[in-house]
Amino acid sequence: MSSLTRRQLLALGAAGAGATVVGGAGLWWTTTSGTGDTGGADLIDPEVLVSRDGVLELDLIAAPTRIEVGGREASVQAFNGSLPGPTLHVAPGDTIRVAMHNQLRVWTNLHVHGLHVSPEGNGDNPFVSIAPGESFDYEFVLPADHPPGTYWYHPHRHGHVADQVAAGLYGAIIVEDPEPVPVTRERVMVVSDLTLDASGNLAEADRMQQMMGREGEVVLVNGQVRPQVTAAPGERERWRIVNACPSRYLRLQLDGQQVRLLSRDLGRLPVPEEITEAVIAPGNRIELLVDTAEGSSALVAAPVNRGGMDAMMGEGMMGGTMRGDNEPGNDEPIRLLTLEVSGDPVQTPAPVPEGPALRDLREEPITARHTLDFAMGMAGGMGGDRTMMGGEGGDEATTMMTFTINGQEFDPDRTDISVATATVEQWTLTNSSPMDHPIHLHVWPMQIVEDGDRDLSEPRWQDVVNVPAFGEVQVLIAFDDFPGRTVYHCHILDHEDQGMMGTVEAR
């Protein structure tokens, strides 16, 4: 991949008009933390747990652990002691049974991000709370026609989501294709970031980082710093990439190789699209087909500007600027991994067969319409709990942000939207803030039907839809089944924890 034409970038549809290459966040280790590992080790695949006879049963233990990250000992939190946790491999129609054990010091739970399963009871229920030292038995029943694709799991206990995902609690889920795609091999690549202090302990995000959405100083692929993969010329690889970062957008480039987009979030495209660059927001996944050519290529994440505070608050406020550590300031791309292609050429796999046509909700009647405004506002005070700056409070006037949907912060006891099952609704997602907000709806995916000047002539389905700063996106949602109550929220996880989440109930 190299530079991107506008048509090709819009083919992904994850970044929004507000995402432009103008800067990025801190890279790798801070100068006080040492240089760490320079990378180059072989990419390690997470453990894969495969369903048998239609069922996958597993114990999933969320606990603090000490592991090696980038050549240093690091204290993180992980599922089953690994970073990332095990990859769950299932088929449409399977049942996943998870005995979730909480060995953390705070409450937690489990969300199977993107899976189309029931939100009730012990299903994908975001209102479950598992106390420290307690366990909970989940059961996720996939429909027989569940879309194949790459999904993931992570905690979703409100108020703790950003901290727990940033600490290392995440893993991939693969729902296999009924018709296999001819490739030489598949690779799962879970991209994440974290910040460690000089002792290798997790650094706590300050209030400014929480407002901006934290971006870690170390960027990892499968828990590794700049690993490498090897292949022979002529092979075709399927890369399943998960953006498990709490806030970081990834503008992915792979120079010197032929790259096609096979899938975004869920399902697969009828015909893979040749691309030169792909932008994925937090929570998004993509699948790439990489047809290998001899040479050394780097998968890099170029900087993405997802907006900032200055447009709202004005330069010079609070003694200078409200620009946080995650604002533009470093325009160097981050090398995620290296692909080394050498040796004798091999026979290229058979052509990729055309996939099934995607459902187009524009051909179906719309029963209801809703408008959701994602906003950031100012909350003033004289110290106290609502302060952002000024240390312990006192006489200095201090200010912090509020994060709302339609003017309201999240209330788990309030139902914000009621929908009827077996209907299609149109939701208009507006963003009145100066920062991009990637919006995720649990259980039901969204078809994007209007988003600036993007080419939406073909159906475009995602479960995380980026709404650019001061922008608007229209989506259609088919509430075909699964009565129950769940949530929608910004997938900059600090924003979710601070109130940018609402509830929806299907009856």
For 390-415, how does the pLDDT look when each residue is reduced to its tens digit (9 = 90+)?
334 433 334 568 999 999 999 999 99
DSSP 320: B
The rounded distance, in Å, linking the Cα atoms of 19 and 484 is: 34
Integer angstrom CA distances of residue 371 from 146, 241, 391: 28, 31, 38
Note the pLDDT of residue 323. Answer: 38
Q: What is the mean pLDDT of the chain?
A: 86
8 A C-beta contact, residue 15 and residue 249: yes
The rounded distance, in Å, linking the Cα atoms of 268 and 284 is: 14
Using the predicted structure, report yes or no on whether residue 31 has a pLDDT greater than 90. no
Q: What is the mean pLDDT of residues 31-40?
A: 48
Note the pLDDT of residue 97. Answer: 98
- pTM assigned to the model: 0.88
Of 38-42, 256-260, 344-348, 424-428, the poorest mean pLDDT is in 38-42
Note the pLDDT of residue 455. Answer: 85
Percent of the chain with pLDDT over 90: 78
Strand order in the sheet with 285-291: 218-221, 185-194, 236-243, 285-291, 258-264, 273-274
Note the pLDDT of residue 309. Answer: 60
Exposed/middle/buried for 352, CB within 10 Å: 0-12, 13-18, 19+? middle
Beta strands in 304-443 (DSSP E): 334-341, 368-381, 398-405, 417-419, 423-431, 437-441
Q: What is the mean pLDDT of residues 113-117?
A: 98
DSSP 361: G
Strands 464-467 and 437-441, how do they pair?
A: antiparallel
Using the predicted structure, report yes or no on whether residue 13 has a pLDDT greater than 80. no
Tell me the pLDDT band of 76, cut-offs 50, 70 and 90: very high
- Helix (H) or strand (E) holding 325, with range, is none
Q: Token match 């791309």: residue?
A: 333
Residues in a beta bridge with 42? 228
Using the predicted structure, report yes or no on whether residue 37 has a pLDDT greater than 90. no
8 A C-beta contact, residue 237 and residue 186: yes
Encoded amino acid at 34, one letter:
G
8 A C-beta contact, residue 24 and residue 303: yes
Complete domains list, the chain, with CATH: 361-506 (2.60.40.420)
